[in-house]
Amino acid sequence: MDTIYHLMEAVLPFEFISYNFMKNALLAVLVITPLFGMLGTMIVNNKLAFFSDALGHSVFTGMAIGVILGIGDTNLSTIAFAVVFALLLNFIKRNNTASTDTIISVFSSTSTAIGLVILSSGGNFSKYSSLFVGDVLSITPKEIGLLVIIFAVTLVFFVTCFNKLHSLSLNTSLARSKGVNIATIENLFAVLIALIVMLSIKWVGLLILNALLILPAAASRNISSNMREYHLFSILISVFSGILGLILSYYLNLATGPMIVIISAVIFFSTLWMKGRVES
Amino acid sequence: MKRKLKFLLSVMLILSLISYGAIKIQGKNKQYQEEGLTIVTSFYPMYIAALNIADGIDGVQVVNLTENQTGCVHDYQLTTKDMRTLSGAQVVILNGGDMEEFMEDVLNQQEEIQVIDSSAGMDFLTGSTHNHSGESYQEDNELYNQYSEEIDHDHTDEESSNHPEDDHDHTDEESSNHPEDDHIHTDEESSNHPEDDHDHTDEESSNHPEDDHIHTNDDSSNQSESSHVHTHSNLNGHVWLNVHRYMQQIQTITEGLCEFDPTHEAMYRKNEDKYLEQLQSIKEEIESIKEIANGAEIIIFHDSFAYLAEELGMEVVHAVNTDGETALSAGEIAEVIEEINLHDIKYLFTEEQYEHTIADRIEAETNATVYVMDSLVTGGVNKDSYLKGMKKNIEMLKEALLKDQK
């Protein structure tokens, strides 16, 4: 870790880099944002934006279960619950005629409600309110390590399953005709989203996590005309917003996560404008 | 592709330039003095204390974290500015009592910072937070009530007639000995809880001679097993509202500062003496109303007033937790109303910074009156803020108590 710190100090001539918490935050941003940019395109393609949001809400129940079972590290219980939640949701979605967004909404609000009831029964719900806005500044090197691992996993998934996932997003019949096992791919992807959402929710915050996942991809989708552009722009926008947001929050003393989202949003609207101009 | 990439890059460039401009205009980083001693305080009451102790000393500056924070700091998130402030600090003054949970991680990371825990060695009351166990509600109240017993020693005749059940209360609970609680209530008695009164009324009604109230220290720890399983971080940290305890905090802080910064010792001591003198007069004022306040039953809507009540010998029948965003359950409000009617409670103490809608509702349904007190968690940046706030509280108390006496 120290070597990375020294390297960062040598490469970046800015004042903020002299603080370790900023180094950690910057590293985290450098890992999270490309990850989000990449995953975001897949989520947007497969119309799972609402799904990832619902997963975020399951953090309450996951944490509540952790508290009840007395697990010190609630990361474990939240991840476990999120995976179960994602798989169960997928299962019901496949075997039920109700529309997907209805089912997701039911799941999302139910898990929020259960979590709220349990966590607030102690009267000190405020302890958990940091989940809402997140706190990228308190991230530790160990947690950055976890993020790096999940980043690698995502890359592997991306390389091996992207085409299958993509065909699935176009048309399920097409995917089936190409011999894609729809359920497996869907489940794998859902689990991956669950892992990433749960690992980053503490730093990004429930309220804006989804914006970070969706906004870069959505902005990129506005202006790109093929898959390569789509991904490139998405990652570019994501990383740029992350770094600029962090720096701005440092100098202007603003909340980090929301700042990142605001910058992504500005880019989204400018691409929307660009798209309108190109079309006319 | 190229055109689009160019567009995207130019958008980014424009954003960067705007940001740069914004930083230039707005972000003039307040650089803290490179030389000298920077004392960082965790939040408002500590800041006021440190301002007084370090008043007028060259080369020593006091910086407060959690600046624009309204409300309690339990759920505070450190900002980048706070982190920067901490990085330049040599000494950090904490209130202790689990108030600074938001700083634990950071302080663990930055080990070179000296930490003064102003409430070191102090015993805390327990917070109002309700636990998962069924009995917890009553346990909390027992804890709250325990400090009021101290006064009962002076009024034994009154005590024995008022609380016929005391004896019973101890006999079956004495056995459970909880180390955690022992130190909190040394030699106070755990008797005369209003809850006990109605819990056990049929069981015993005879008067008990004074001797019944002589107990070993362990008596006060009549907690059931469940409570200390669930309440580790359930301390009530608002100690500064008890002037006596606040004075202890001042002394602890001064000791700490003198240790870390011996060069200014004489000045710290001088400031300390001056401030303690001012506090002493506040304390005397409190003593003066203690007589009428003593034993009055109150309901508080903020944990901090438990310490005010402790000093005045008032009895907190119920501490309603309106701190934070957790809505009270309808059942709890009903419970509070019932208690008020049962004990004929006249005073509801609420906090300025929170909405008093619940207290107002309760007031409308009962004979009790709402009094808005200052928990001194926030306020003006002035070294006399504590003194002023406390005086205001005392005035408010006087008004409440005298009105009632007529």
A71/B242 Cα distance (integer angstroms): 37
- For residue B126, is pLDDT > 80? no
Beta bridge partners of B398: none
- pLDDT bin (cut points 50, 70, 90) of residue B67 is low
Q: What is the pLDDT of residue A239?
A: 94
Q: Is A253 on the interface with B (CB under 8 A)?
A: yes
In this complex, the residue of A21, A135, A240 whose CB is nearest that of residue B12 is A240
Question: What is the pLDDT averaged over residues B394-400?
Answer: 85
- pLDDT bin (cut points 50, 70, 90) of residue B240 is confident
Chain A / chain B CB contacts < 8 angstroms: 116
Pairing of strands B125-126, B235-236: antiparallel
Model confidence over A169-200: pLDDT tens digits? 888 888 888 888 888 888 999 999 998 888 88
Cβ of B75 within 8 Å of Cβ of A122? The answer is no
In this complex, the residue of B4, B26, B327 whose CB is nearest that of residue A229 is B4
Q: What is the pLDDT of residue B304?
A: 82
A44/A164 Cα distance (integer angstroms): 15
B17/A273 Cα distance (integer angstroms): 20
Q: Look up residue B127 and give its DSSP letter.
A: P
Select the more confidently predicted residue: B205 or B384.
B384
Tokens found for residue A207 = 């309220």
Which whole-number Å values give the CA distances from A53 to A6, A17, A109, A262, B180, in the listed order?
Answer: 37, 33, 11, 18, 42
Cβ of A253 within 8 Å of Cβ of B15? The answer is no
B366 lies in some domain: no
In this complex, the residue of A20, A122, A127 whose CB is nearest that of residue B131 is A122
B147 lies in some domain: no
A232/B196 Cα distance (integer angstroms): 70
Question: What is the pLDDT averaged over residues B44-63?
Answer: 85
Question: What is the pLDDT averaged over residues A139-160?
Answer: 88
Amino acid in the structure at residue B222: N
Model confidence over A20-67: pLDDT tens digits? 778 888 898 999 999 999 989 988 888 888 888 888 888 888 888 888
Cβ of A233 within 8 Å of Cβ of B4? The answer is yes
Select the more confidently predicted residue: A272 or B33.
A272
Parent domain of B275: 37-123+238-282
B233 lies in some domain: no
B53 lies in some domain: yes
Q: Is A227 on the interface with B (CB under 8 A)?
A: no
Sheet holding B37-41, edge to edge: B60-64, B37-41, B91-94, B114-117
Mean pLDDT of chain B: 70
B191/B315 Cα distance (integer angstroms): 12
At the fourth CATH level, the homologous superfamily of domain A2-279 is ABC transporter involved in vitamin B12 uptake, BtuC (1.10.3470.10)
Question: What is the pLDDT averaged over residues B48-72?
Answer: 78
Q: What is the pLDDT of residue B323?
A: 53
Cβ of B324 within 8 Å of Cβ of A126? The answer is yes
Select the more confidently predicted residue: B164 or B362.
B362
Angle between helices B136-152 and B305-312 (to 10 degrees): 30
Number of domains into which chain B is organized: 1
Q: Which of B45-59, B165-179, B300-314 has the lowest mean pLDDT?
A: B165-179
B162 lies in some domain: no
Best of A132, A253, A271 to mutate (most B CBs within 10 Å, chain B): A253
- For residue B10, is pLDDT > 60? yes
> Which residue does chain B place closest to A68, by CA atoms?
B132
CATH code, domain carrying B91: 3.40.50.1980
Share of chain A above pLDDT 90, in %: 21
CA angle A174, A53, A185 (to 5 degrees): 30
Q: Which of A43-47, A94-98, B151-155, B393-397 has the lowest mean pLDDT?
A: B151-155
- For residue B138, is pLDDT > 50? no
Cβ of B75 within 8 Å of Cβ of A137? The answer is no
Beta bridge partners of B64: B41
Beta bridge partners of B115: B92
> Which residue does chain A place closest to B132, by CA atoms?
A122
Q: What is the pLDDT of residue A232?
A: 92
Phi, psi (deg, nearest 5) at residue B69: -75, 120
- For residue A266, is pLDDT > 90? yes
Q: What is the ipTM of this complex?
A: 0.74
Q: What is the pLDDT of residue A269?
A: 94
CB A74 within 8 A of CB A59: no
- For residue B314, is pLDDT > 50? yes
Helices (H), chain A: 2-11, 20-45, 49-69, 74-94, 100-120, 130-133, 141-170, 172-177, 182-204, 206-223, 227-252, 256-279
Tell which phi-psi region holds residue B376, choosing left (phi > 0), alpha (psi between -120 and 50) or beta: left
CB A215 within 8 A of CB A245: no
- For residue A236, is pLDDT > 90? yes
- pLDDT bin (cut points 50, 70, 90) of residue B404 is low
Q: What is the pLDDT of residue B226?
A: 33
- pLDDT bin (cut points 50, 70, 90) of residue B326 is low
B52 lies in some domain: yes
- pLDDT bin (cut points 50, 70, 90) of residue B55 is confident
Select the more confidently predicted residue: B105 or B348.
B348
Q: What is the pLDDT of residue A264?
A: 93
B306/B128 Cα distance (integer angstroms): 9
> Which residue does chain A place closest to B87, by CA atoms?
A19
Model confidence over B186-215: pLDDT tens digits? 333 433 444 444 444 343 333 444 333 333
Q: Is B350 helix (H, G, I), strand (E, B) or coil?
A: strand
Question: A248 CA to chain B: closest CA distance, Å?
Answer: 7
Select the more confidently predicted residue: B182 or A172.
A172
B224 lies in some domain: no
Q: Is A171 on the interface with B (CB under 8 A)?
A: no
Select the more confidently predicted residue: A73 or A182.
A182
Question: B331 CA to chain A: closest CA distance, Å?
Answer: 13
- pLDDT bin (cut points 50, 70, 90) of residue B355 is low
Question: B28 CA to chain A: closest CA distance, Å?
Answer: 8
B267/B55 Cα distance (integer angstroms): 9
